[in-house]
Amino acid sequence: MAKSDPVGDLPPVEQFFQNPSFSQAQLAPNGKSVAVLIGKKDTPSLLAVYDLKSADVKVIASFRELDINHFQWISDTRLVFDTWDSQSALAETYEGPGLFAVNSDGSGFRQLVSRIQYTERSTGERGERDLLPWYSKLLRTAGRQNSEYVYVIRPMLDSLNWNEVEHVSLLRLNTLTGKAEKVDGPFGAQHWMLDNNGEPRISVTREKNIEIINYLDPVKKIWRKLASFDMYLREGASFSPHAFGADGRLYVEANNGHDKEGLYSFDLDQLKISDKAIFSLEHYDFNGSLITDSNRTLGVRYTSDAEETYWFDSAMSGIQRTVDSKLPNTVNRISIAQRSESPIVLVEAHSDIQPTVYLIFNYETNELNKIGEMYRDISAKEMSHQEMIRYRARDGLEIPAYLTLPRGRAAKNLPMVVLVHGGPFTRGKTWGWNAEAQFLASRGYAVLEPEFRGSTGFGNAHFQSGWKQWGLGMQDDIADGALWAIKQAYVDPKRICIAGASYGGYASLMGLINNPELFRCGFEWVGVTDINMMFEGYKGHDSDLPAIWKSYGMPLLIGDPIEDAAQLKATSPLQQEARITQPLLMAYGGADRRVPMFHGKVLYDKLKMHNPNVEWIFYSKEGHGWKLVKTNVDFWSRVEKFLQKNLGE
């Protein structure tokens, strides 16, 4: 804790990094009940159903040593789900997630997919019976939700390269009998999409770096090509299939000649994107979901700085206004049942200081009742507010960022952590409660999380301006964010630390190299330490990066090992390690195949020869990020001590 922290008890580290106690609430298709995952400390999560009429709660599925993971209603009375083991690290996880079905009253339980790797048969309660192999997974598209059938995908790996998916088979699976039949489709399918009736309609295939979008004509029953384009350049009239509306219309995400992506309709006869967007935003790409029931397309869920909803349907818009008036301090996500037989909607309310709370709203009686909250131990009164700000980089590019200032503190002369997101070609954050930022703020640190160039969600120009800018323009954006905070007098310029994981770890290392006058210290976990090592591996330990990404994506977006050799050397923390003299905390996982542990170890071995303030943490059984609660608690406890030592006064 920094010297200027107020006196009093701080929320314990454990409070921020627990598994959810109540999550994934979903209305049944008829709207008469809600299924939810319920978890307790050190106890596997279980699947329960809450009857909205009687208010009875019934546990319908649980395992002694396994957590229920994801679940989905497939009819008014039946659900499917898979599992995970929250008590075992990645290296200790030897079985797959499986797939199971159960009725909403707990009857009719059946295992559908084996959890035993490399085995296609399993022994169930009724004796040995056929199961789908362990690598079969549910296709998570809800569809009509009125059948005992589901669709399952089965990735088939390239026999010569196990990091590459050769094709993905689609199977129609009966959850009562366990019988499955393969769906005929185009050769080399990588992705599948169901229509609003729950039937296969889109298959995306790939030839090297070219994606081909195929459509199954519901009348002629034949697959035909809709479009093809480079999966990385995404030039011209490229688009991504988004969803089918209730009327069978295909909606796609596309730039359509603009900088920002919008949601458009696609003419399946003319093979043309509509001229006008169904929905678009001025400052953001469309990123969200279409909201439908069995008969109508009702609205869209989208993300600006926070998650929001736009309703096409006037009745739903009225319900949203009523809920928002009752819950004025939260973002309120309303979910409807597919074929509702009651005046009920599910509300998920959250804010920057409040993790998700689940409520039921009856729009006839105007009653709003809480049924659960994601993290019971988190008190909003102890959390710190977050806001999206925008600052100018040195070349004039506008950079969005999230700023969290510690509660109860004057917003002046604070110690700060610049927290850099991974990816990097993804969006880092949306406005809302975040464990890492809130933990740091609870210890008295301002937290800045920049959406540097190359981040997605802010338009094509913002994205492409980050190509081949690892350690260069992207790095300058991060430094310019810290300089902005200094100019606003929020932070003490002598007490700034840079941190992040994966690419964020790389950026933390490069921040110490490029801006030693700005960053007093750094901490990183599972960070990339050399770009060439991503291409080549190290001492026979290759990462799990797909070959197609290494062949086509990385040379275009990050750099070519031959053509850009000089740049990759100049922006390699491993090659520039002599310039890292500030205190540094490094942490890696022994089971990490995305950024194998050797990335960190080879750099640490070189650093410790001249930098007495470099610290090493090794979690032998963790992967690319920390799975176990106890690992998170240990890591962030160490971070707390590291920051106290280096940013305290």
Name the CA dihedral angle for 183, 186, 188, 191, rounded to a multiple of 10 degrees. -70
- Tell me if 514 is assigned to some domain: yes
Contact 303, 287 (CB under 8 A): yes
User: For residues 421 and 499, what is the distance between their CA atoms, to the nearest angstrom?
Assistant: 9
Contact 385, 354 (CB under 8 A): no
Contact 124, 111 (CB under 8 A): yes
Quote the pLDDT of residue 240. 95
Task: Indicate the burial class of 121 (C-beta count within 10 angstroms; 0-12, 13-18, 19 or more).
Answer: exposed
How much is the average pLDDT of 292-308? 93
Using pLDDT thresholds of 50, 70 and 90, give the confidence band for residue 162. Answer: low
State the residue for tokens 């909403």: 104
- Tell me if 596 is assigned to some domain: yes
Contact 384, 434 (CB under 8 A): no
Q: Which of 337, 305, 334 shows the shortest CA–CA distance to 320? A: 334
- Tell me if 557 is assigned to some domain: yes
User: For residues 520 and 501, what is the distance between their CA atoms, to the nearest angstrom?
Assistant: 18
Quote the pLDDT of residue 6. 43
Task: Indicate the burial class of 313 (C-beta count within 10 angstroms; 0-12, 13-18, 19 or more).
Answer: middle
Using pLDDT thresholds of 50, 70 and 90, give the confidence band for residue 140. Answer: confident
Residue 328, Cβ neighbours under 10 Å: how many? Answer: 7
Quote the pLDDT of residue 126. 41
State the residue for tokens 């690419």: 503
Q: Which two tokens stand for residue 291?
A: 């909201």
Range of weakest confidence among 18-32, 163-177, 297-311, 625-639:
163-177
Q: Which two tokens stand for residue 478?
A: 């991060």
Report CA-CA distances (Å) from 362 to 52, 321, 322, 366, 527: 10, 14, 11, 5, 48
Residue 226, Cβ neighbours under 10 Å: how many? Answer: 18
Quote the pLDDT of residue 127. 38
Quote the pLDDT of residue 337. 94
Residue 595 has pLDDT above 60, yes or no: yes
Q: Which helix (H) or strand (E) holds 39?
A: strand 33-40
| Helices and strands: H and E segment counts in the chain | 12, 37
Using pLDDT thresholds of 50, 70 and 90, give the confidence band for residue 648. Answer: confident
Residue 525 identity: W
Residue 565 has pLDDT above 80, yes or no: yes
Residue 293 has pLDDT above 50, yes or no: yes
Pairing of strands 180-182, 165-174: antiparallel
3 phi and psi, to 5 degrees? -60, -30
Residue 363, Cβ neighbours under 10 Å: how many? Answer: 17
Residue 98 has pLDDT above 90, yes or no: yes
Using pLDDT thresholds of 50, 70 and 90, give the confidence band for residue 5. Answer: very low
Q: Which domain holds residue 517?
A: 383-647
State the residue for tokens 């994934």: 24
Quote the pLDDT of residue 297. 92
Pairing of strands 521-525, 584-589: parallel
Using pLDDT thresholds of 50, 70 and 90, give the confidence band for residue 129. Answer: low
User: For residues 534 and 529, what is the distance between their CA atoms, to the nearest angstrom?
Assistant: 9
- Tell me if 450 is assigned to some domain: yes
How much is the average pLDDT of 303-312? 96
- Tell me if 236 is assigned to some domain: no
Specify the DSSP class assigned to residue 558.
T
Domain count, the chain: 1
The 8 Å CB, 24+ separation contacts for 313-322 are 319/345, 319/361, 319/363, 322/361, 322/363, 322/366
The sign of the torsion formed by the CA atoms of 169, 172, 176, 178 equals negative
Quote the pLDDT of residue 160. 61
Q: To the nearest whole number, what is the mean pLDDT of the chain?
A: 93
Quote the pLDDT of residue 124. 45
pTM of the model: 0.94
State the residue for tokens 């011209």: 236
Which of helix, strand or coil describes residue 483? helix
- Tell me if 118 is assigned to some domain: no
How much is the average pLDDT of 23-30? 96
Residue 4 has pLDDT above 70, yes or no: no
- Tell me if 57 is assigned to some domain: no
- Tell me if 303 is assigned to some domain: no
Q: Which of 60, 63, 177, 45 shows the shortest CA–CA distance to 110? A: 177
Contact 31, 340 (CB under 8 A): yes
Quote the pLDDT of residue 466. 98
Higher pLDDT, 331 or 145: 331
Q: Radius of gyration over alpha carbons of the chain, in Å? A: 25
- Greatest Cα-to-Cα distance within the chain, rounded to the nearest angstrom: 74
CATH classification at residue 587: 3.40.50.1820
Quote the pLDDT of residue 121. 43
Using pLDDT thresholds of 50, 70 and 90, give the confidence band for residue 276. Answer: very high
Q: Which two tokens stand for residue 433?
A: 């409660």
Contact 639, 587 (CB under 8 A): no
208-260 pLDDT tens trace: 999 999 999 999 999 999 999 999 998 878 999 999 998 899 999 999 999 99
User: For residues 490 and 192, what is the distance between their CA atoms, to the nearest angstrom?
Assistant: 48
State the residue for tokens 């009966």: 174
